[in-house]
Amino acid sequence: MAYSRVIAHKAEIGTAVDFDAIIIGAGVSGLYQLYQLRELGLKVRVFETGTGVGGTWYWNRYPGARFDSESYTYGYSFSQELLEEWNWVERFAGQPETERYLNYVADKFDLRRDVQFKSRVTAAHYREETRSWDVMLEDGRRYSARFLVTAIGVLSAPTMPRIPGVEKFRGQSCHTHYWPKEPVSFAGKRVAVIGTGATGVQTITEVAKTVGHLTVFQRTPQWCAPLHNGKISEEEMRAIRADYPEIFARCQQTYGCFIHATDPRATHEVTQQEREAFWEKLYSEPGFGIWMGNFRDILVDREANALISDFIARKIRERVKDPVVAEKLIPKNHGFGTRRVPLESGYFEVYNQPNVKLIDITETPIERVTPTGIKTSDAEYEFDIIIYATGFDAITGSFDRIDIRGVDGVSLKEKWKDGPQTFLGILVDGFPNMLMVMGPHAGLGNFPRAAEYSADWATGLIRFALDRGLTRIEASVAGATAWTDHVIASSEGLLFTEVDSWMTGINRNVEGKQVRRIMRYSGGHPAFRERCEAVAAAGYRELSLA
Ligand SMILES: Cc1cc2nc3c(=O)[nH]c(=O)nc-3n(C[C@H](O)[C@H](O)[C@H](O)COP(=O)(O)OP(=O)(O)OC[C@H]3O[C@@H](n4cnc5c(N)ncnc54)[C@H](O)[C@@H]3O)c2cc1C
């Protein structure tokens, strides 16, 4: 059934409306949401800052950028034909392969014709009299739509460090997110990398392969574990294809939609020997098993967490030859798994190379970037290239960068200044007809698994409204408060809440992001879906519909 009647209705009430729905963002989430709304017969426009589709996988072209998700669990599941056609080459695909995949999807479903590139949305304002959204682009163009769907990413608002002199450097500066499309050569070059999060770890490992000299500026070392990437043979791909239904079913059952399910045992329920053998096995296997498939208590029980942290620390000491450097690479201010675990492919061995130097900036802070390099409290270094692997204003950053205003002109940024408040991470009270695909406090995890679910739920709600001639969908204050309270309660007792990281809303480079907040839903995806399904099954009575 086609729903061009949304526009017809707008015509009746005497307003010019450009689209039934505007989606912001053409990454994994936005592309799928476009496909779904188009299936519903809606007239949709996607606005995207970049010049191509892919979001994360369009922007982050830095050397070594790749999945920590198994490729075949990351692809879309909605189209059997797509599953039949696409062959993953690597177990954990690199950025070029993933970007190719998302372009293939865009072409296959002819999505590009509704995507307007080079179109950064700067403002979106709700108009009560027409129950619609006005959307403004950076270049001044304006559009309107009944529904506004944000698909703007959780890691898409990059941040630079607040170091004086950054703009004065005369060599080449690159933020990993804005990596140039043309290749950057490191051969014979003096290169600095600032930042050692998941992106820094990947970048450093790759740059070290060809660099003249590499200097790594580290503030917080990470509990990295091996990725164990490899090629997928044709035969394996055939087996994966036959297994897709089981693979996706398994992802549905796990806490974070990965194929790795938590081990039901507690750390102390097994002997020390069994424990060590289990951890050796996880450490030698591909992917996030060591984090997501570990004993059930490692992320809640201090003693259990100390034991697994000690296991990983021993691995670092085994792999790094210089004991002083090894100690610097072992985190001391947080336990294993309480920050996002970077998966690596030879990261620690990089520090055994004679042409690699590690600088701990908690000992010798960076004072400034100079025209020729970086000055710390005890030395001045010269560089040809400075790489900023300084991450993102995560989860709410991409929202904060748009002037989103709801009923009575209330600003979303202002509403969320003490932390996000949403209903299921999809709706916000006071912001009617705005739906978020993977907004804050939605069920997170292996991304497309979670994004497909959120986009399907949003589509179901829009279909419900259209079927009944409803033109205003809003979360109730009580509903949003209850969900926010539940999100906060679900993180109680989890050790990650005691640690500064992007997962607790901390970013030292962003004003107002110095206080820890609960940014993610920690109840697990199965519980998230159960709640969402109950709301839909009850005819969305928990929402304000008109
Ligand atoms: C380096 C890196 C590695 C990752 N690895 C994994 C992994 O292994 N597994 C996993 O599950 N997840 C991973 N992630 C998370 C990743 O972000 C998601 O997997 C997924 O790509 C997010 O898709 P999205 O469409 O929701 O958002 P994004 O891919 O971030 O896309 C959002 C899009 O919105 C656009 N946009 C934002 N604001 C505006 C605006 N105002 N106007 C117009 N356009 C706008 C952006 O340009 C962007 O293209 C990784 C993230 C990074 C950065």
Pairing of strands 373-376, 121-127: unpaired
The 10s digit of each residue's pLDDT in 286-323 is 999 999 999 999 999 999 999 999 999 999 999 999 99
pLDDT of 14 higher than 90: no
pLDDT digits (tens, 9 = 90+) for 100-155: 999 999 999 999 999 999 999 999 999 999 999 999 999 999 999 999 999 999 99
Ligand 1 nearest atom to the CA of residue 56, by list position: 29
Question: Rounded to whole angstroms, how far apart are CA atoms 158 and 343?
Answer: 21
What pLDDT, on a 0 to 100 scale, did the predictor assign at position 511? Answer: 86
CA of 410 to the centre of ligand 1 (A): 27
Residue nearest to atom 34 of ligand 1 (CA): 25
103: number of Cβ within 10 Å: 17
Q: What percent of the chain has pLDDT over 70?
A: 97
Site of tokens 């599941």 = 77
**Residue 344 confidence (pLDDT) above 60:** yes
Residue 1: the pLDDT is 45
What gap in Å lies between CA 81 and CA 250, rounded to an integer? Answer: 21
Question: Dmax of the chain from CA atoms?
Answer: 75
What pLDDT score does 3 carry? 52
Q: What is the mean pLDDT of the chain?
A: 95
Residue at token pair 């941040």: 159
Identify the CA nearest to 471 among candidates 129, 210, 180.
129
- The pLDDT score that the predictor gives to residue 12 is 45
What's the length of the chain? 546
> Using one digit for the tens of pLDDT, what is the confidence trace for 427-483?
999 999 999 999 999 998 999 999 999 999 999 999 999 999 999 999 999 999 999
Alpha carbon distance 172, 116 (integer Å): 31
CA 19, 23, 26 angle in degrees (round to 5)?
130
Report the distance separating Cα 385 and Cα 383, nearest Å: 6
> pTM, whole model, 2 decimals?
0.96
Residue among 62, 57, 58, 52 nearest 74 (CA): 57
Torsion over CA: 23, 26, 30, 34 (sign) = positive
Question: Amino acid identity, residue 518?
Answer: I
Separation of alpha carbons 166 and 180, rounded Å: 18
- CA 156 to centroid of ligand 1, rounded, Å: 5
- What is residue 499's predicted lDDT score, i.e. its pLDDT? 84
Q: Which atom of ligand 1 is nearest to the CA of 121?
A: 42
Q: How far is the CA of 241 from the centre of ligand 1 (A)?
A: 26
Beta bridge partners of 193: 216, 387
> Which protein residue's CA is at the shortest distance from atom 21 of ligand 1?
56
The more confident residue out of 511 and 53 is 53
11 — pLDDT class (breaks 50, 70, 90): very low
CB 133 within 8 A of CB 434: yes
Residue 201 scores a pLDDT above 70: yes
What is the distance in A from the centroid of ligand 1 to the CA of 49?
12
Best residue for ligand 1 mutational test, from 447, 449, 454, 525 (most atoms within 8 Å of Cβ): 447
Q: How far apart are the C-alpha atoms of 278 and 8, rounded to whole Å?
A: 62
Q: pLDDT at position 7, please? A: 55
Q: How far apart are CA 26 and CA 21, in angstroms?
A: 14
| pLDDT per residue as tens digits for the range 82-107 | 999 999 999 999 999 999 999 999 99
- Residue 276, class by beta-carbon neighbours within 10 Å (0-12 exposed, 13-18 middle, 19+ buried)? middle
pLDDT in tens, 347-359: 999 999 999 999 9
Q: Which of 251, 223, 26 is nearest to 117 (CA)?
A: 26
Which protein residues are within 6 Å of ligand 1, measured from CB?
Answer: 24-30, 47-50, 55-56, 58, 60, 65, 67-69, 120-121, 151-156, 199, 398, 402, 438, 446-447, 451
Average pLDDT over residues 210-219: 98
Place of tokens 């030859």: 321
Closest CA to 422 of 473, 480, 477: 480
Burial 410-438 (b: 16+ CB within 10 A, else e): eebeebbeebbbbbbbbbbbbbbbbbbbb
Distance from the alpha carbon of residue 393 to the mean position of ligand 1, in angstroms: 12
**Strands 380-382 and 373-376: what pairing?**
antiparallel
CA distance 480 to 485: 8
Predicted confidence (pLDDT) at residue 2 exceeds the cutoff of 90: no
Give, as one character, the DSSP assignment of residue 211.
Answer: B
Q: Outline where 46-94 has alpha helix (H).
A: 56-59, 71-74, 80-85
Distance CA 430, CA 438 (A): 19
Residue 232 Cα to ligand 1 midpoint, Å, equals 25
pLDDT for residue 48 is more than 90: yes
Residue 449 Cα: closest atom of ligand 1 = 11
486-540 residue pLDDT tens:
999 999 988 898 888 888 888 888 888 888 888 889 999 999 999 999 999 999 9
Asked if pLDDT for residue 9 goes beyond 70, the answer is no
Ligand 1, residues 105, 137, 155, 435: which to mutate, most atoms within 8 A of Cβ?
A: 155
Whether pLDDT at 13 is above 90: no
CA-CA-CA-CA dihedral for 76, 460, 35, 147, to nearest 10? -130
Distance 95 CA to ligand 1 centre (A): 12
Our mutation pick for probing the ligand 1 site, out of 56, 68, 398, 449, counting the most ligand atoms within 8 A of Cβ, is 56
Tell me the pLDDT tens digit for each residue of 182-195: 999 999 999 999 99
- The residue whose CA is least distant from atom 6 of ligand 1 is 67
Q: In what order do the strands lie in the sheet with 172-175?
A: 172-175, 385-388, 190-194, 213-218, 356-360
The helix/strand/coil state of 77 is: coil
Residue 114 Cα distances to 231, 360, 539, angstroms: 35, 48, 31
Closest residue by Cα to atom 33, ligand 1, is 25
- pLDDT tens digit string along 385-404? 999 999 999 999 999 999 99
pLDDT at 4 over 70: no
The backbone torsions φ and ψ at residue 495, rounded to the nearest 5 degrees and listed phi first, read -65, -25
Which ligand 1 atom sits closest to the C-alpha of 65? Answer: 1
* DSSP letter for each residue of 403-450: EEE-GGG-BHHHHTTTS---BTTTB-TT-TTEEETT-TTS--SSHHHH
Ligand 1 centroid – CA 305 distance (Å): 30
Q: 3-state DSSP call for residue 143?
A: strand
CA of 248 to the centre of ligand 1 (A): 21
Q: How far is the centre of ligand 1, averaged over its atoms, from the C-alpha of 171 (Å)?
A: 29
Packing angle of the helix pair 302-319, 272-284 (nearest 10 deg): 60
Ligand 1: centre distance to CA 307 (Å): 34
What the block records as the tokens of 297 is: 């208590």
The residues that bridge with 45 in the sheet, in sequence order, are 22
| Tokens linked to 184 | 């950057």
